[in-house]
Amino acid sequence: MRRAGPMIGGMAQAQVLTFTDRGIYCPAGDFFIDPWRPVDRALITHAHADHARWGHGRYLATHGSLPVMRHRLGDITAESVGYDETRRIGDATVSFHPAGHVPGSAQIRVEVAGEVWVVSGDYKLGPDGLCEEFEPVRCHSFISECTFGLPVFRWHPQNQVAGEILDWWQSNASQGRFSLLGAYSLGKAQRLLHMLRDGPGPILTHGAVENVNEVLRAQGLALPDTVRVTPDLDAKAHPGALVIAPPSAFGSSWARRFAQASTGFASGWMQLRGVRRRRAMDRGFVVSDHADWPELHRAIKETGAENIYVTHGYTDIFARHLNEIGYNARVVPTEFGTDEDGAEDAA
């Protein structure tokens, strides 16, 4: 697409979206996208806690995100939309498009007077068999995460990683050990359940994981059978089980009921040896719901955008790289975290 609007300091004039201390703001529609301070009207890309926060007056999200948001945020004033459904808000036209991050996640397209911006939220391009696949959206300006914006981050095929985890689980089960696997409660846990559905034994889940499972199952998401870990559960009645729990549960009295367990952690950060050592897990499995280095480049290229705003991650390095290869790139400070670095531990 051709760039619209005058240039200021190498970037297109921010007439569609601006960056404020409360979040990404659209003056033409008087709404915010994933704001981190309370606002009257918030459009939400997905239900992770750093993007969908409590305290806004009105929420708008996809049909797939809103049930989890209600589960986490309680009684909120909210409505939902389908993918590709167009809404007119003030003088802005908005629509939500699949981001491939977690079930229900979206990129938000905003058009004002013919100029189009897209806020990607968090995204990945590789299909996982569970959530809606990423859909490139043409635009003039693209706001992109770069959680894993370094060349070292390159994901292996999902079936290869699934084989590694299944081998680890099978080995533990044959020795009478539990396999305690750390994964964040929305997105990663369900992806692992889908990947490991034909495993060698039962799957037990922490309450935080199972609460989200129940919400997603009620929406029609097909997940394998799981057993909720309750205070009166007899772990010995489930020999060789895989136990999926948020990382915050490790080292707690909750986890100590699984004596002789082998521990593992599923995250994109497991690509880095130093992180694996600090996590002090027996095994690290590289599974991420964020774009890797090649996927970031592909996503940006497919938008056709010349103006790229990068948020949360290796922002300075990635923006410099994008400028070197011909984009107009700029770092935008935000208060987003990531489920990959622990924002969802307690969810």
47 and 113 part of one domain: yes
pTM of the model: 0.92
Q: Is residue 78 part of a domain?
A: yes
Specify the pLDDT at position 299: 98
Pick 12 or 30 by higher pLDDT.
Answer: 30
262 and 304 part of one domain: no
122 and 177 part of one domain: no
The CATH number for 228's domain is 3.40.50.10890
11 and 148 part of one domain: yes
Q: Which of 231, 252, 285 is the last residue of a domain?
A: 285
Band of the pLDDT at 273, cuts 50, 70, 90? confident
Q: Is residue 346 part of a domain?
A: no
Tens of pLDDT, residues 203-257 = 999 999 999 999 999 999 999 999 999 999 999 999 999 999 999 999 889 999 9
Q: Which domain covers residue 263, as residue numbers? A: 158-285
Q: Give the residue-averaged pLDDT of 135-154.
A: 97
Helices (H), the chain: 66-73, 158-174, 188-195, 207-218, 253-256, 273-279, 293-303, 315-324
Q: Is residue 337 part of a domain?
A: no
Specify the pLDDT at position 281: 86
The pairs formed by 20-29 with CB atoms below 8 angstroms and a separation of 24 or more are 23/334, 24/119, 24/143, 24/334, 26/89, 26/90, 26/92, 26/110, 26/112, 28/90, 28/91, 28/92, 28/112, 28/113, 29/89, 29/90, 29/91, 29/92, 29/94, 29/110, 29/112
Q: Is residue 275 part of a domain?
A: yes
- How many domains is the chain built from? 2
71 and 220 part of one domain: no
Specify the pLDDT at position 52: 97
Specify the pLDDT at position 74: 96
42 and 80 part of one domain: yes
Q: Is residue 106 part of a domain?
A: yes
The CATH number for 58's domain is 3.60.15.10
216 and 262 part of one domain: yes
196 and 297 part of one domain: no
Percent share of the chain, pLDDT over 70: 92
72 and 117 part of one domain: yes
188 and 57 part of one domain: no
Tens of pLDDT, residues 46-79 = 999 999 999 999 999 999 999 999 999 999 999 9
Q: Is residue 340 part of a domain?
A: no
Band of the pLDDT at 3, cuts 50, 70, 90? very low
Band of the pLDDT at 295, cuts 50, 70, 90? very high
Q: Give the residue-averaged pLDDT of 130-155.
A: 97
Q: Is residue 1 part of a domain?
A: no
Neighbours of 116 (CB within 10 A): 21
194 and 266 part of one domain: yes
Strand segments, DSSP code E, in 9-100 are 11-12, 18-19, 24-26, 31-33, 41-43, 58-62, 78-81, 87-89, 92-98
Specify the pLDDT at position 286: 96
C-alpha 112/C-alpha 320 separation (Å) is: 28
Q: Is residue 338 part of a domain?
A: no
246 and 300 part of one domain: no
84 pLDDT higher than 80: yes
4 pLDDT higher than 50: no
Q: Give the residue-averaged pLDDT of 269-297.
A: 89
346 pLDDT higher than 60: no
